[in-house]
Amino acid sequence: MIHALLAVLFPVSCIGCEKVLLDQETHICLNCELELPVTNYQNETNNPLAKTFWGRVKFEFAFAYLVYKKAGLVKRIVQAIKYKGNKQLAYDFGQRLGRQIKLQIHQNGVNALIAVPLHPKRLKQRGFNQSELIVQGIASVTHIQNKSEYIKRTVHTPTQTAKSRIERWENVLSIYEVDKQLFQQNGQCHFLLVDDVVTTGATVESLAKELLKMGNCKLSVAALAFAP
């Protein structure tokens, strides 16, 4: 009753098309749900995201839930998370992502989830790391531990727009501080690195290389969206 009353007084609208949501809809309406550009990369080992990292860093598997475009639904979802602070949206889409790769996560023996960290300045501005919320969503459906707190970013990099891939890559080199305790768990380790949107993959690559320098571990990568 209260829920129904609140829905009348403060109707929640669809992130995609701004239509008022029905009771059974969350974040996006059914029409937009059907329009979601879901990748199905979980069924394709050599998918476009995996190929992005070929010759750069070895990942056991690479997955992105959605295809990111310059305009459209996925961009609106990402903006609602990052700039409007819709944390529940990040968590819920993390759960969606987690359900897609639950099988792969368990079959490949992933035993820790790591969000690509934000620089402390950016974290302070935004108040949260969207990738960590995605990780929390994944953790809730896979029961794999979130170990994001073991990694921090140190140096603030200048804006990365309008730079070549190589420049970007150099720009994000060695900016992570990794707590060695991350590796002190029963020998075997397989980390799933989680980012919100992967474009060139430079940030994920630099974090992966930093981790590989420090310990003998397997790595995989998952993103909410991939901009091919």
* Binding footprint of Zn ion on the chain (CB under 5 A): 14, 16-17, 29, 32
CB of 36 to Zn ion, least distance (A): 10
Q: What share of the chain is helix, strand, coil (3-state, %, to 5)?
A: 45, 15, 40
* Nearby residues of 146 by Cβ (< 8 Å), 6 or more positions away: 112, 113, 115, 132, 135, 136, 139
Q: Alpha-carbon distance 167 to 111, whole Å?
A: 33
Backbone dihedral angles phi then psi of residue 209, each to the nearest 5 degrees:
-65, -35
CB of 81 to Zn ion, least distance (A): 17
> Could you tell me where the DSSP H helices lie in 63-173?
73-82, 87-107, 120-126, 130-142, 165-171
CB of 32 to Zn ion, least distance (A): 3
Chain centroid to CA 58: 18
Q: For residues 95, 66, 120 and 205, what is the CA-based torsion angle, rounded to 10 degrees? A: 110
Pick the closer one to Zn ion by CB: 22 or 103.
Answer: 22
Pick the closer one to Zn ion by CB: 6 or 17.
Answer: 17
Pick the closer one to Zn ion by CB: 14 or 97.
Answer: 14
Determine the Cα angle at 134 with ends 55 and 107, to 5°.
60
19 contacts 29 by C-beta, under 8 angstroms: yes
**How many CB atoms within 10 Å of residue 223?**
28
CB of 28 to Zn ion, least distance (A): 5
Pick the closer one to Zn ion by CB: 16 or 94.
Answer: 16
CB of 3 to Zn ion, least distance (A): 21
CB of 19 to Zn ion, least distance (A): 5
Pick the closer one to Zn ion by CB: 13 or 45.
Answer: 13
Pick the closer one to Zn ion by CB: 20 or 103.
Answer: 20
